[in-house]
Structure 1
Amino acid sequence: MSKTPFLIATIFALCATTVFVDHAEARERSRAVQRTGQGGSVAVDRSNARFDSQRQRAWQADGQGNASAWRNGSIAGTNGGSASVDRGAYRNADGSAGRQGSAYVNGPHGGTASTSGGISRDADGNVSGARSTTATGANGNGYTGSTTVSGGTVTHTGTCTNASGETIACTRGH
């Protein structure tokens, strides 16, 4: 009986173990959790050869009908791209509620986009809110727009520009 298959299997196992150990050491992750009777928080950090990211969230409630929560996160890729998000919401015992948020993206080849806004309902049920958005492509063309809601009426405006800042027609890409 030849020892060659045994040697090949042993060598393969050692190589595979080395690959998995190297890969596992290249990734890092941490998580922190805190909880109380009225809320808590979670934070997660991740890092590896392709990206670094962080996420956090927290919540609280007082037992009287009032509660709020928020979360945010960010990621940065080794290719130069990055993104972040931040959002929150609340609810009050009187029936009022709302949410707000923002997000940002920076593409690895120069494009960017961002948006922010919020919407709320008062104790009488009246809803109002607004959101604004901007985007710029790697070629310099851009879009700026906003949407508002008030008294049951939704209004949207938007403008597209070329790299020189001149207004151009807004069209959807196919």
Structure 2
Amino acid sequence: MNRTTLLMATFVLAGASVVAIPDVSAQGRVRGHAVVHTGDGGRTAVTGAAARGDRGSYERGHRVDSDGQGNVSGRSGAYAAGADGGTAQRQGSFYRNADGSAGRQGSASVNGPNGGNATTSGSIARDASGNVNGNRSTSATGQNGNTYNGSTTVQNGTVTHTGTCTNAAGETIACRGN
């Protein structure tokens, strides 16, 4: 692997994080992309971007690796902050193997400027025989203190969901849409 290209790829991912928190008076955006071809027929590709302006800032990046044998994996992440104080972030990863197995996992969260917040995380995988299993958990709290906690699972084609809503006092209440 070419060292200069690898250093450039590292800069693209690291640079997005550094540039997203510039001097308060600085405004603008930066983007970068690099691809490295490996000796075994694989590739590594990285992309990053960041911006800051009157309405807030963001940074995001992703990386994908392949080995030339049909195996691919990657990861990504993003963060945004609004001028009003709200923030959101996400991260995830995936893989696909030459035998047909594949999977993905990810999480995300958001914090509203007035006190509400939500988080979610989950994963799903398919084995080489085609069996799919996964889960996702989600929780949210409104600025008034009402909460939602839910979980969804899929196992061998069967999907199951549970969800509970409570008020600020911790009493169970009807969830909207139920």
Contact kept? 1:32, 1:44, Cα under 8 Å = yes
After the TM superposition, list the runs of 4 or more consecutive aligned residues in structure 1 that deviate by more than 3 angstroms.
none
In the other structure, the counterpart of 1:102 is: 107
Using the alignment, how far apart are the partners of 1:170 and 1:70 within structure 2? 34
Report the Cα distance in structure 1 between the residues aligned to 2:135 and 2:129, rounded to whole angstroms.
Answer: 19
Which of residues 73, 92, 97 is equivalent to 1:92?
97
SS at match of 1:64: coil
Tell me how far apart the structure 1 counterparts of residues 136 and 58 of structure 2 sit (CA, whole Å).
26
Distance 2:117 2:177 in 1: 17
CA contact (8 A) 1:144 1:160 kept: yes
Deviation of 1:50 (Å)? 1.5
Q: 1: distance between equivalents of 2:80 and 2:157?
A: 37
| Corresponding residue of 1:4 | none
In 2, the alpha carbon distance for the partners of 1:140 and 1:100 equals: 29
TM-score (normalised: structure 1): 0.81
Deviations 1:99-129 (A, max 9, x none): 1111111111111011110100011111100
Would you say 1:28 and 2:33 are equivalent positions? no
Q: Distance in 1 between matches of 2:157 and 2:32?
A: 43
User: What's the Cα RMSD here?
Assistant: 1.5
1:137 pairs with one of 142, 150, 161: 142
Match of 1:55 in 2: 60
After superposition, what is the alpha-carbon deviation per residue over 1:66-118, rounded to whole angstroms, capped at 9, x for unaligned? 00122110101120101011122210011100111111111111110111101
Counterpart for residue 66 of structure 1:
71
1:3 is aligned to none
**Structure 1 spans left out of the alignment, 5+ residues:** 1-24
Stretches of structure 2 lacking an aligned partner (at least 5 in a row): 1-24, 38-42
Superposed displacement of residue 172, structure 1? 3.4
What residue number does 2:117 align with?
112
Q: CA deviation at 1:27?
A: 2.6
Bigger Rg over Cα: 1
Q: Is the 8 A contact 1:26 1:49 kept in 2?
A: no
> The residue matched to 1:116 in structure 2 has which SS?
strand
Structure 2 residue identity aligned to 1:79: D
Instruction: Percent identity, please.
Output: 54
What is the CA-CA distance between 1:26 and the residue it aligns to?
A: 5.5
**What's the CA shift string for 1:39-73, capped at 9, x where partnerless?**
11111111112201100111011110100122110
Instruction: Count how many residue pairs are aligned between Structure 1 and Structure 2.
Output: 149
Tell me the TM-score normalized by structure 2: 0.80
**Equivalent residue, structure 2, for 1:153:** 158
